[in-house]
């Protein structure tokens, strides 16, 4: 083999290897879009003078969702809401103030490709506060009730296909008693907003992880199995999950679209222990549970 041909072959091998590595690196990239509320919801709160409360929830959800998705350890998170800051860092490259030989320097037009996209819309929000003044005891009892509803949609960007669309509604409340002279301090009741946004963000993150990467059995010994999910994945000790065997791929005969993989119920397990990166469960019904078996959480109760 002469030298030019040898160089060309090496170049092609390096190119194919580079494309392969790049593809592998981006199979689990997920863009988390900025949280937005329905326009009708925004108008409603603007008309009642409570826009600040809605904005507080929206902004809190934005940060919480990025944090919770990242905590699943299943995705390389590309936060669309922070994209403008990343682009600014890349734009500074041409300012002449940076060492162009620094390997850590941000590069323009080098954003990583994105495989999945998460779009979340707030479609319901209510924030009600009741105050009861006890003059004799000089105390104020504040009851705050927050209701938050959201819809998440998960898309595969390479095809534009909708993988999943799901809605959730969370209701929570708190009762706080304070001295009358300190009753203007809303710090205790504001914790309620932080709690409801955190719970909603965790539900969405686990929904996304379970759709793209279903919970599976890592190992089995007698009546005990190990799952590939740990803390923060929505598991609760005592929960009963269904065990399913994957079957044939389902395709829409009209459109040719792949709808998913058929699953057959082959047993049930009870969550017994939740560790940082994996969990344990007890097999309570068994028709062939083994390594690789898909596990599904119990159906959510209607709010």
pLDDT band for position 255 (50/70/90)?
Answer: confident
pLDDT band for position 152 (50/70/90)?
Answer: very high
* pLDDT given for residue 90 in this prediction: 57
State which CATH number among 3.40.50.720, 3.30.460.80, 3.30.420.10, 3.30.160.150 fits the domain covering 31-87+112-212.
Answer: 3.30.160.150
* Residue with more model confidence, 138 or 277: 277
Residue 20 to residue 237: CA distance in whole angstroms: 40
Domain boundaries, the chain: 31-87+112-212, 215-296
Mean pLDDT of 154-169: 87
Among 62, 104, 99, smallest CA distance to 83 is for 62
For the segment 43-100, what is each residue's pLDDT rounded down to a tens digit? 988 888 878 888 888 988 988 999 999 888 888 887 666 655 555 555 555 665 665 5
Mean pLDDT of 243-250: 84
Query: Across the chain, where does the E strand assignment appear?
Result: 29-32, 36-37, 76-79, 116-134, 139-156, 161-179, 215-221, 224-227, 240-251, 258-274, 279-286, 294-296
Domains 31-87+112-212 and 215-296 share a fold: no
pTM flag (> 0.75) = no
Residue 189 is inside which H or E element, if any?
helix 187-212
User: Regarding beta strands 279-286 and 76-79, do their DSSP bridges make them parallel or antiparallel, or are they unpaired?
Assistant: unpaired
Q: What is the CATH number of domain 215-296?
A: 2.40.10.410
* Angle at CA of residue 163, ends 160 and 146, nearest 5°: 115
For the segment 39-51, what is each residue's pLDDT rounded down to a tens digit? 999 998 888 887 8
Q: Cβ distance 294 to 243 under 8 Å?
A: yes
Please, what sign has the CA dihedral across residues 54, 59, 61, 64?
A: negative
- Count of positions (residues) in the chain: 303
């Amino acid at each position: 083999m002469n030298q030019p041909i040898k160089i060309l072959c090496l170049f092609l091998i390096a190119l194919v290897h580079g494309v392969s590595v790049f593809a592998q690196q981006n199979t689990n990239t997920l863009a988390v879009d900025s949280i937005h509320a329905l326009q009708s919801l925004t108008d409603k709160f603007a008309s009642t003078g409570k826009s600040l409360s809605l904005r507080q929830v929206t902004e809190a959800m934005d940060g919480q969702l990025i944090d919770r998705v990242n905590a699943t350890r299943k995705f390389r998170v590309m936060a669309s809401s922070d994209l403008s800051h990343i682009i600014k860092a890349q734009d500074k490259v041409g300012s002449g103030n940076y060492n162009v030989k620094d390997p850590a320097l941000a590069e323009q037009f080098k954003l990583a490709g994105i495989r999945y996209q998460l779009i979340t819309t707030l479609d319901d929000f209510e924030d009600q506060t009741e105050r009861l003044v006890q003059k004799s005891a000089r105390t104020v009892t504040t009851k705050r009730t927050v209701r938050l509803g959201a819809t998440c949609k998960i898309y595969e960007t390479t095809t534009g296909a909708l993988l999943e669309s799901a809605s959730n509604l969370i209701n929570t409340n708190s009762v706080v008693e304070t001295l009358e002279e300190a009753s203007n301090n809303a710090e205790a009741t504001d914790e309620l907003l932080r709690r409801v946004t955190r719970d909603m963000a965790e539900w969405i993150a686990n929904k996304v992880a379970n759709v793209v990467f279903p919970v599976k059995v890592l190992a089995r010994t007698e009546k005990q199995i190990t799952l590939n999910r740990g803390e923060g994945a929505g598991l609760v000790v005592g929960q009963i999950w269904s065990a399913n065997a994957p079957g044939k791929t389902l395709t829409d005969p009209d459109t040719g679209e792949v709808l998913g993989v058929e699953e057959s119920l082959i047993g049930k397990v009870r969550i017994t222990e939740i560790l940082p990166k994996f969990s344990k469960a007890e097999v309570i019904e068994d028709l062939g549970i083994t390594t690789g078996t898909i596990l599904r959480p119990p159906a959510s109760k209607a709010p």
